[in-house]
Structure 1
Amino acid sequence: MKLSFTKYFATLFILLIWSTSLFAQNLIENNCETVTTKDNIEHLKSLRLEMKPYEQDFYNKQYAKSSKSGKTINKIPVKIHIIRNSNGSNGLDQYQLEDAIENLNSIYANANMQFYVFEEINYIDETNSYDHFIKGDEKNLLETNYAAGIINIYFTNYIENASEQSICGYGINQDNKKLILMKNNCATNNSSLAHEMGHIFSLVHTHGPSSSTLTTELVDGSNCDTDGDGICDTPADPRLSTKNTNSNCEYIGGLTDANGDLFSPDTENIMSYSRKACRSYFSTQQLARMYAFFQADINGFIQSDNNIELNEDYSVIEHDLKTISIYPNPVIGHKIQLKDAQGFSSLTFKIMNLQGQTLYGGTISNSQISIENLSSGSYILVLTNADSRIIKRFIK
């Protein structure tokens, strides 16, 4: 009897350990559930010849010596959907959204892209979708909550994959639809939203299309244009993770490629599975590809006449006006003080909200701009003279 009793508790203990381990696995948060499909790859291949001159154009602008060359900023509309409880409570708040868009724009500025919120935010009050969104549920959302012809981003509290694991988000670019599902606390971690947007603009994970097998890209780079992510200034990646990347953003894995060479991946690349806090930039060739993909497939991003107004190109010439700054920022009082603005003739301004709507504008006098009629919040200031234009963000 004593032996059976002991066996009973031993079995119970093993089951407890097993169930705890299973529960812990279910709490593991995966980086991304975006799948690069064969259709995605074929679509990219179909555009390659058309993209080549755009990539070269990007490089020419990137490395141009002349200060008069300027950079064309492509304004890209995004439709925002915020999922909340059925009673309208919770959900991503305005400040979190502003921070997410601001961070996205700071990263994509190097690709000559700027995202703006198209029209009003669409709130979806559905508790089940807020508390427990399962990958695949977006099909139900698209029936009544989708703006055709532009990128749609959905923010919710919790997203789970088919294996019941918590995930940060995923992107879909197929069937003439471009959308991102993003977990709220991942939207503000400074890399996940930019990662998913990279997929929308044709980028593949640095470890390649498959997240379950070791990349065939070689460390020596000899097949970099055909294997892995197909980009040659991103080193071969054996699939980075929190297990093989330490808190100092150093790769500590020991895997080797087919030639026996030790992998040395870039732990700071946004399209990797590295620690989210480590990811901070796109490589030059990644930037060129996104820029070229947008130019070659522009009708897939801007199809509606309703969003043409804010999509006009403008040049940001990186001399002269770049010396102007807003001080202090956040602004104190009811006037913007422009530092180092003296000496610029015919300097005009335009103030916009983060949705891209122009609120008012005029000519600058005494290096000051009145904002007396603006409510508290974040805004965009556009400064222009005969030679150049520059954008500043300020907070009142």
Structure 2
Amino acid sequence: MKKLLLILILFVLGTNLSFAQKENDPERACGTHNMTDQEMEALPWYGNNQYILDYLDSLEGNSNMRVERVFDGYKVAVQAWVYRKDDGTGTVPEDSDIMNLLNVANEILKANGVQVQFYLLCNVISINKTLFHSEIETDRQFENMLRENNDPNALNVHFVRDNNSDWSGKANFTNDKPPYSFAMITSFVSGINTPISLDRQRRAASTFLHEFGHTMDLLHTHQGRWGCGDGDNGACGNCKQEYVDRERRLGLGCVVTWLTGGLVASERNGDMLRDTQADPNLDFRWIDNDSSCNYRLSFIDGIGNTQSIEHPTDNDGVTWTPPTNNIMSYSHRLCRVKNNSFSRMQKGLIYMRLDNDNPIVNNGLRIRYNDNDVDEYENDNHFQAADTTVELSRFPRRHHTFHIDSGALGTPKVCDEDWMRFNVNFTKNVIVVTRPAPVISNLQTSTILELYKKIINSDGTIGIQLIERNESGNNYGAGFSRIERILNAGDYYVRVVSRDGSSGHYVIGIFPERENWGSYPRGSGGGGGDPDGEIDFGVDDPTFGGDIDGNGTLDYVCDGAQLRLQGLDNDPLWSVQWSTNNPSVSATNGLIQTNGFFGEVMTTAMISYNNVLVGNAVRTIWVGAPDAPTLVVGNIRGEGNTLCQGEPIYLSTANSVRGFATGYRWQLYKNGVQIFDQTTPTPELYIDRLVLNVPIGYYQAYVSACNACGCTRSNAVTLEVIPNTDQRCRSIGGGRGKIQVNSIIEKEIVIYPNPVSNQLTIKLPTLYNENPTQVELYNSIGQLVYSKTYTAIPNVTRF
């Protein structure tokens, strides 16, 4: 376990490195070898994809532990190896860079529905060896690196600076020795303090996931059989090609040659998976860009020459439709990490290789953590890889674990630590507290808390400063920790480590100090319980209520909300009896039932500890949608809410809406047909040219105040839209050839028609000092015939 710090310290990150692809650097090929025909034919799904489908059906349709495991996800331990030169020099990724890489890879897997999560083992192991750092040239050198540095209980990832074989990554299949191992280059790691952009992280994650796929026996989508010209599927002959037609069957001559497997080409050739499209080899060139990711047959290179793909069709003459976003293709790296980057069968092979209950695979090795006790917030073992999902206004509580390192080169141990980051927007008293997790006692663990403030170092890098540490325990048990401190606005970090080096579970809460809404003698009458001074109302699901003003207190709840008291729910000796002061609203067992009522309700929680009443907490909250607002329409001429076509209007609410509105919906109807609908977060709306070109007549306008519980609509306001030719619009002034800039702005402009050139010269008044940005011309019946926007306009302009 890392040494715990007992004094005020300053963390300075010496280098802030990211896996960053230079914008002008070409894509590099994968160095993983192609399987031989014999190796492919030995796989149980060769010519028989039903083998994978049957496995997936049993996995997804079974209600026993197996489907539970897939639901929770496979937790794959990663042992990272970083290589420097013989003298210990060389630019390498920091531990936090590797954690962030794993986190980005996990996000991509989650977005693609792949139930796998990577977590970093205790130590990133650094090796000083120039050969492995940047000079690997042969397969033997590569295999020596993997064999010399290997943890049989983990996925081994080797971060090398570069190599002399020009590959970006290189992996071993499960039948190679050792399995579950791959390398990737870091020669495009950015310089010191370069900001880490998301697309650069995703490029590195694309290489990482591609090579991981190989360790699970996934092949390139353009895999060619031995003897296929340049080794790509596009160059293969009739018997060895994967065709565009997924049902294409091989001829009799091919079956005589190969007596094993079925006859469908897509199950025998290419990557041997029917649900990935046939691929001639995209070669990083036959995709238009890494945004649209469209396949192309040709392009014009940098010197004006047309480059065309060598094999534009399969041997049946059908144009390829390759999977340009598949993780195992040679598409652009950013294309490979979009949604649908893994097919269902590819996922099935990954699960199959990770499923230790299947004796056919895995060579008897376990790379999935046995007890599955890795929390969802990994990888968070460094402040620069901290969990950033903590929101003080959302009553956050997190169930964390300290997992066991599987024992790289030694005895299994715990060196896991958890980092969280949160923001304080104004000075407030903040409580950080750990408590026993709701699991059996021998699975709980003890904790030590440290609170840090984010700082900017003199060289511009981000650092952190320890401001408080607690290991003395709290009233939830001597093994748990609590910090309470007034914090100024800024970013803060919390570090949690295991007190005695044991694995196990704990719960952490980070929240502002609550208002004291009731009396509770801190458990003195109930046998030693302690609510820790943070009794507060909350809801289990924030979509049923919320904190609107950001002060950390619950403001409103919806029908069906489940109330709770923060600070009590992790101790089974606490109990709460709920009641309200409104007969229409019930709160039995904390479940709010409104029966259609909305408004203010006083809710009382009678608090007991060990069946002895110790106090109460009372809170007046709003239940349901907000009050109905009152619509006010501004910029109306005269009486009767009259508007000229094309005029702007201003909508707002006249009253301060009760009920904690989070948004406002503005609607306009004519003869019952909606013609305008817009939502804003604030109770006002400026609408430029709302009724331009709409028929004249009468309209009904509404505003609704909304929150998560629903919307309440105002009474209708009737508007009359009149044509611009109406005298009330005053579109035409008192003299010939003179019109007004706007019927609202009482200034005139002069027009000089030129019938020869079909132009109008428009002159602004001499004393006109405003900057017009929109010019519109209307005919005599009010129809718009010309409109143009300007950023600046001279005194005389021709149109």
The reply to whether residue 252 of structure 1 matches residue 296 of structure 2 is yes
Aligned twin of 2:209:
194
1:221 pairs with 243, 246, 252, which one?
246
Q: Is the 8 A contact 1:171 1:181 kept in 2?
A: yes
So what's the TM-score if we normalise by structure 2?
0.36
* Map of 1:268 onto structure 2: 325
| Deviations 1:361-392, CA, capped at 9 Å, x for gaps | 6359xxxx9963579689899998xxx9xxxx
Report if the CA contact (8 A) 1:219-1:236 is conserved. Answer: yes
C-alpha spacing 1:229/1:299, structure 2 compared with 1 (3 Å): closer
The within-5 A match list for 1:1-396 is 30-38=28-36, 40-42=39-41, 44-45=43-44, 53-60=54-61, 71-89=71-89, 90-109=91-110, 110-136=113-139, 137-142=141-146, 144-161=148-165, 166-173=166-173, 174-185=176-187, 188=201, 189=203, 190-210=205-225, 212-215=231-234, 216-222=241-247, 223-247=265-289, 248-253=292-297, 255-280=312-337, 281-295=341-355, 296=358, 300=362, 303=365, 310-313=369-372, 336-337=390-391, 340-341=394-395, 349-350=399-400, 352=402, 357-359=415-417, 362-363=435-436, 372-373=450-451
Equivalent AA in structure 2 for residue 265 of structure 1: P
Alignment-derived partner of residue 23 in structure 1: none
C-alpha displacement at 1:70, in angstroms? Answer: 7.8
Task: Spell out, residue by residue over 1:64-110, the C-alpha distance to the aligned partner (whole angstroms, 9 max, x if none).
Answer: xxxx9981311122221100123323212223211221122223343
Contact residue 81 and residue 124 of structure 1 kept, 8 A: yes
2:155–2:181 contact (8 Å) kept in structure 1: yes
Match of 2:482 in 1: none
8 Å Cα contact 2:449/2:494 also seen in 1:
no
Inter-partner Cα distance in structure 1 for 2:391 and 2:449: 11
The alpha carbon displacement at 1:118 in A equals: 2.8
Rounded Cα–Cα distance in structure 2 between residues aligned with 1:150 and 1:266: 31
* C-alpha RMSD of matched pairs (Å): 4.2
Corresponding residue for residue 22 of structure 1: none
Deviation at 1:297, TM superposition (A): 5.9
Q: Distance in 2 between matches of 1:129 and 1:378?
A: 37
TM-aligned CA distance change 1:153 to 1:301, over 3 Å:
farther
- 1:288 Cα offset (Å): 1.7
Partners of 1:353 and 1:379 within 8 A in 2: no
Distance in 2 between residues matched to 1:301 and 1:105, nearest whole Å: 25
One-letter amino acid matched to 2:372: D
Distance 1:261 1:157 in 2: 42
Cα deviation, residue 271, structure 1: 0.4
Greater mean alpha carbon deviation, residues 97-106 or residues 46-55? 46-55
Asked whether the 8 Å contact 1:107–1:194 carries over to 2, the reply is no
Structure 1 pair 147–374 and aligned structure 2 pair: CA distance change class (3 A)? farther
Distance 1:378 1:179 in 2: 34
Contact 2:314 2:320 in 1 (8 A): yes
Indicate how the Cα distance of structure 1 residues 84 and 70 shifts in structure 2: closer, same or farther if over 3 A, else same: closer
Question: Structure 1 vs Structure 2: percent identity of aligned residues?
Answer: 21
Q: Which residue of 2 aligns with 1:320?
A: none
Worse overlay, 103-112 or 219-228: 103-112
Cα offsets for 1:178-206 (capped at 9, x unmatched): 31011015794230110000011111111
Does the residue aligned with 1:225 lie in a helix, a strand or coil?
A: helix
1:267 deviation in Å?
Answer: 0.8
**Do the aligned partners of 2:157 and 2:182 also contact (CA within 8 Å) in 1?**
yes
Distance in 2 of aligned mates of 1:55 and 1:101: 26
In structure 1, how many angstroms separate the alpha carbons of the residues matched to 2:363 and 2:395?
A: 36
Please give the per-residue CA displacement for 1:160-181, whole angstroms capped at 9, x wherever unaligned: 32xxxx2101101213533101
Determine which structure has more spread, i.e. the larger CA radius of gyration. 2
By how many angstroms is 1:246 displaced?
1.3
Residue 135 (structure 1) shift? 4.0
Distance in 2 (alpha carbons) for counterparts of 1:352 and 1:28: 41
For structure 2, the 5+ residue unaligned runs are 1-24, 63-67, 190-200, 235-240, 248-264, 298-308, 377-384, 406-413, 419-433, 438-446, 454-463, 465-492, 498-504, 508-539, 541-799
In 1, the alpha carbon distance for the partners of 2:319 and 2:217 equals: 28
Corresponding residue SS for 2:233? coil
State the distance in 2 between where 1:340 and 1:383 align. 19
The alpha carbon displacement at 1:242 in A equals 2.6
How big is the shift at 1:139?
3.3
In structure 1, give the amino acid aligned to 2:73.
I
- Greater mean alpha carbon deviation, residues 370-379 or residues 258-267: 370-379
**SS of residue in 1 equivalent to 2:450:** coil
More strand by share: 2
Kept in 1: contact 2:180–2:216 (CA 8 A): no
* TM-score, L = length of structure 1: 0.68
Compute the displacement of 1:269 (Å). Answer: 0.7
Q: Distance in 2 between matches of 1:79 and 1:69?
A: 22
Distance (whole Å) between structure 2 residues aligned to residue 205 and residue 28 of structure 1: 19
Amino acid at match of 1:286: Q
- Residue 282 of structure 1 deviates from its aligned partner by 1.1
The alpha-carbon distance between structure 1 residues 220 and 59, as it changes in their structure 2 partners (threshold 3 A), is: farther
Q: Give the CA deviation at 1:256.
A: 0.5
Deviation at 1:336, TM superposition (A): 4.4
Q: CA deviation at 1:151?
A: 2.4
Write the distance in 2 (CA, Å) between the matches of 1:301 and 1:121: 25
Count matched residues: 326
Give the aligned residue type for 2:34: T
Q: 1:80 corresponds to which letter in structure 2? A: A
Q: By percentage of residues, which structure has more helix?
A: 1
Verify the 8 A CA contact 2:84 2:127 in the aligned structure 1.
Answer: yes
Higher RCO (C-alpha under 8 Å, 6+ residues apart): 1
User: What amino acid sits opposite 2:399 in the alignment?
Assistant: F
Q: Measure, in 1, the Cα distance between the counterparts of 2:133 and 2:494.
A: 27
Q: CA deviation at 1:57?
A: 3.6
Distance 1:371 1:111, change over 3 A: same
